[in-house]
Structures are given as C-alpha cells and as structure tokens.
Chains A and B, each alone.
Chain A
C-alpha cells in the first residue's frame, strides 16, 4: 500500500463527490444547494490541485489541467453567488442557474480527473 497514493486518491475522489453533492438537486432552486458544500468543494479542489503539482509525467500534466479547470469553475460559481447576493441585491433564477451550472462544469472536470486516476492505477501492475 502506498500512503502517498491513498492520500491523493482520497482527495481526488472527495473533490468529485462533494462537488456532486453540491450540484445535486433542482438547479433552479438555490435552497436545495448548501453554501457550505460549495465552500468545502472549493477547499478540497484546491488541496487536490496542490497534490497534483510537481508531477512531470504526461498523465500528471493532464490531471493538473483538469484540476485547474475545476478550481476555476468552482471559484467562478462562488463569485457569481457573491456578486448576485451583494451587488445585484439577491439571487434570482438566472444567477441561481449560473451558480449551479458552473459547479456542474467543475463536476465534469472532476469526473475526468478521477477516471484518469483510476485508469492509471489499473494499468500499473502492482
């Protein structure tokens, strides 16, 4: 058992599952989506990104790229939320859908990342 692999695998999958947890539910209704979950998704994604840093292999580069995409989408989602709340004076349907669909995009990136990670694990003989 490789501790390094356990830790990174844990964070990669956790990043995907939390992201899913936030996106799951009626996309038009913000009450179905917890702000704490979005916060956790951002933090876990950032940690996963840092864990992917410094891997010079081909796969490492692609993993890092997917993680960066997820980060940007999630941060954009949080920014839209904050902007709608404080600048536009409250969430409306449009901003709600934007927040959820941005996070949904991040989920897709995370799915790709986890698929690649599992694929690589299966490929190695040990």
Chain B
C-alpha cells in the first residue's frame, strides 16, 4: 500500500471540502422542497426533490439555466439568493483546496516518489545505483549509458536532481532526491531487484561511504559495491564488511607512479586499458632522480610510499592548502618566502616536483614557481575537480592526475568491463620483462592504437560459435584468429584474458586452449579485425570457412 500515499494525501485533504459541499447542497435542496411555490396556472405546489436537486446542481456550479420548473415566487427567490452565496462559497472552497493541493510540496514529493518507483519497477535490464550526482558520477553515467548499462541516481540535494533531469540522458536515468544514507532510499532505488548489479558511493566523507556500504551489504548480499575510501583503516573496515571493490584514488595514483617509474611497459598497458594509445610519448616518461612532494596529506603519503618502493630519493614540503590560505590571505603560491622554501627543498637539483595539495590554484602556482627556478624540472600536478580542466591544460604541466576522472574511470571499468578491470589487477602481479614482451607483441600484431573489447561465448553474443560448441565440436582460440578472407592467414587479434566462470583464469591464453560455452574473453583488436571477429563468431558460414576452409 506504500505506493498509494498520493491518493491518501488527496483524500485526507479533501475531507472537509467534501463535507462543506454536501452540507450546503443538502440545506439548499431541503429548503427548496419546503418552500411553497406557484405553477403557471396559479396553483400552489411544492418542488419535488428531483426538481430541487436539478436546480441546485446548476445553480451551485454557477451554470444557471434559469428558474425551473416554474417561475419562482418571492419566498423562493429569497431562499435561492441565500443559497447562491452558500453553495458558491462551498464550491470555491473545494476548488481552492484542490489548487492548494496541487502546489503542496508533500504531495508533489509523493508524486515524484511514485513515478520513481514505477520507473524502477519497469526497469528490466541490468542497472547500477549511483549515489550522489556530481562531476564524477556524471562521467560514469555517460560512459555506462554508452555501454547500454542503465543507471539509477539518488542524491539528497533536489537541485542536483533537477540538474540531472535537464541533462536529458539517453536512456533515461531515473533520479530521486532523498537521503542516501537511509535504507528506504536504497530500497526505493531497487537494491532488492534481481537485476541490480552494483551500488556506487563515492562521497567525500569516508564515514558516509562506510555507512552506505554496511546498509547495502545488509540489504542485498549479492550486489557489487564500489565504495570510495581514502584512508587505510577505512579500507580495512570495508574489507571486513566484505566489500569487493574499494576505491582509494590516492592509492591508484601511487600505484601508477610506482609502475611508471619501475615498469613503464606495465604502466603503458594499464593506461592503454583506460584509453591511452599503446605508445609512451616522450614527455610522459618519468625522470629518475630526486622528487619533491608539495603537500603532505593523504596524497602526499601515498606518493611517498610509491617513491620509497621505487627507490627514488625525495623530499617533501609540508604544505596545507587551508593553512596556507589563512596565513597568506591568498591562494597564489610564489612570494619571496615560498621561493626560499622551494630552494631549501632543493628545487635546483630535483628532477621532478609533485604538487599534491587540495587546492587547484595553489598546485598550479607551485608548479609555475618551480618551473621558474628550474627550467628542466618535470612537473606533476594534482587536479581536484574536473571544473578546472581547461586551466590545467593550458598550464603546460607534464602530467596531471585528475582525482575525479580517475575515480570515474575505475568505477566504469569495474562495472562495465569486469575483464579489463581484472586484467589491470593482474598486471600488477607481473614484472617489467613480461610487460615489455606483451607490448612488443601487441605492436607487432596490432600497431599503435589497438582497442579492446569483451566477449562472452553465449547465444546472445556469439551465436554460431556457441551452437557449434554445444554440438560438441572442438574449437580452439587459435582457430578464431584465422582471417575470414584467407583462413591460412592470421587476423590481427590478440586474446588478453580467458575466464571460465570463477575457476579458471588465464592471462594471455595459449592458442591451443579449447573453448567452451560460457567462456569470457578480453580481446585486443583493431577496428577492422574487431568487426571481422564478430562476424566469425556470429555467422555460421564465416565460422565454417575459418574452421574448415569450405563455404
């Protein structure tokens, strides 16, 4: 019955107007039947209830067809003139109540909730619940929508929900303004539904994220959780709760810097998964030597760990953006005192400087000042919000880490591309030699700018192949690499990851591996070979030709 709140509010609010209308009508009708009138022959008569009801009905609604059935006598007219005011006031009161009801905030909220519930109930595809609408989640929604994954959003702030509505996402994104830490909100957003795949909570406040994680775990054990956490203890809490996926943006950046320093090829592979071309540009190479970290907060600590692990010498400048702004009254770094600080930290000998404070303007000015003191220094900046993107672009910083974008990228990968995400995780267990071999191989086969996609061998995604496999035919990965133009030639395609349920996972599977229905593959290909590959796995004749050479 919960969903009928709208009707209950209307009924409750209309009780008194209804009573007023009933009472005024009955008084008017009763009076008319009691007052003696006169018919057209001059005989006395009394109006029947039907006549009175008919007359009052059109009088009260101010339609006014005239006096019926006979012209009224003066006593009747006296009564009617009283009744006009009585019933019209009753009607107006009723109509006024309805108008007030339409403008009622509670009612419009109930209507919003009812609509939202209906949309969720109608949602049959797999969907993800995203809590909080901001720059990060905006990006995630766009990317997920492109993949055809539906998204549901809840945010406490009604203005943000309005902004989301104006965005006009396709397919539609149902959104609700409600307290996201409340279990009812999560229930309304469909966390209990079978096709709810994941809940994303990337709030600034770690406590809030943990609370949400706990609620979600209790409400639905099966659902995947993407929870942001920026401290170690928090992450451990979450792990204990059984949260499978914890996002710590600082840890991501720290890992990337470590990889870039120690294993550039692995770094390249990871970046390629996120959409980078498969080639390191000259200015992307991190120099080896002394590093200066400006800002020693959560990100500073994470960077320190990365540099320590990579064996790079470093110093840090403990600079807190809030304290700096308070002390100097400006967010521009670079007065005489600041110069001294940089020089003391050894900016002249350092090969790279990392500006990692919470304030984008301070970060920019730190890097500009450092550049003035040492022209060759490699600059790395932390960009906190996507809003400042254009400024950072034009500032010619060698490498920018955009926290929001990194969060969005990882979330997207985890939800929409589970195999690619798994691939990135597995990369971190490999060494540079392995990375160099893979990158070399990919260059040989696929060139500089390959793309990657995922394929599940089932009837929906690989029709012909699945049917053949179900018949018991033996098909290996190598068979699928043959060209459909000439089956003796190899197609430019590589299999990066092979996954069969949870039991078997293989990085760079061998060509002799035998396929089975239900296998998932992460494939690297060129634009053209991707199309060819899709033809082969879906079309009988193409598959038959590739396997046997006939057809």
List chain A positions with a Cβ less than 8 A from chain B. 35-36, 39, 43, 46-47, 50-51, 53-54, 56, 78, 82, 85-86
A-facing mask of B24-47, CB < 8 A → 1, else 0? Answer: 001001100100000000000000
| Bound-complex Cα distance A43 to B20 (A) | 12
Asked if B11 CB lies within 8 Å of chain A CBs, one says yes
Choose from A43, A51, A82 the contact partner of B50 (Cβ within 8 Å): A82
Q: Is the CB of A50 within 8 A of B26?
A: no
A56-B29 CB under 8 A given contacts A47-B22, A47-B23, A50-B18: no
Determine how close the nearest CB of chain B comes to the CB of A25; give it in whole angstroms.
Answer: 19
Asked if B281 CB lies within 8 Å of chain A CBs, one says no
A/B interface sample: 8 pairs, CB < 8 A:
A35-B48, A46-B22, A50-B15, A51-B15, A53-B12, A54-B12, A78-B49, A82-B49
Q: Is the CB of B8 within 8 A of A54?
A: yes
Instruction: Specify the chain A residue showing the minimal Cβ separation from B19.
Output: A50
Instruction: Specify the chain B residue showing the minimal Cβ separation from A42.
Output: B26
Which chain B residues lie closer than 8 Å to A56 at the CB level? 1, 8
| Bound-complex Cα distance A51 to B14 (A) | 11
Choose from B8, B22, B48 the contact partner of A85 (Cβ within 8 Å): B48
List chain B positions with a Cβ less than 8 A from chain A. 1, 8, 11-12, 14-15, 18-19, 22-23, 26, 29-30, 33, 48-50
Determine how close the nearest CB of chain A comes to the CB of B431; give it in whole angstroms.
Answer: 67
Choose from B12, B14, B23, B26 the contact partner of A39 (Cβ within 8 Å): B26
| Known A50-B15, A50-B19, A53-B11; further 8 A-B contacts with Cβ < 8 A | A43-B22, A50-B22, A53-B14, A56-B1, A56-B8, A78-B49, A82-B48, A82-B49
Which chain B residues lie closer than 8 Å to A43 at the CB level? 22-23, 26
Which chain A residues lie closer than 8 Å to B14 at the CB level? 53
A39-B18 CB under 8 A given contacts A53-B11, A54-B11, A56-B1: no
Determine how close the nearest CB of chain A comes to the CB of B455; give it in whole angstroms.
Answer: 52
Closest 4 pairs between A and B when the two form their complex, measured CB to CB = A54-B12, A43-B26, A82-B50, A50-B18
Which chain A residues lie closer than 8 Å to B50 at the CB level? 82, 85-86
A35-B15 CB under 8 A given contacts A46-B22, A47-B22, A56-B8: no
| Bound-complex Cα distance A46 to B24 (A) | 13
| Bound-complex Cα distance A5 to B29 (A) | 29
Which chain B residues lie closer than 8 Å to A46 at the CB level? 22
Which chain A residues lie closer than 8 Å to B8 at the CB level? 54, 56
Q: Is the CB of A39 within 8 A of B49?
A: yes
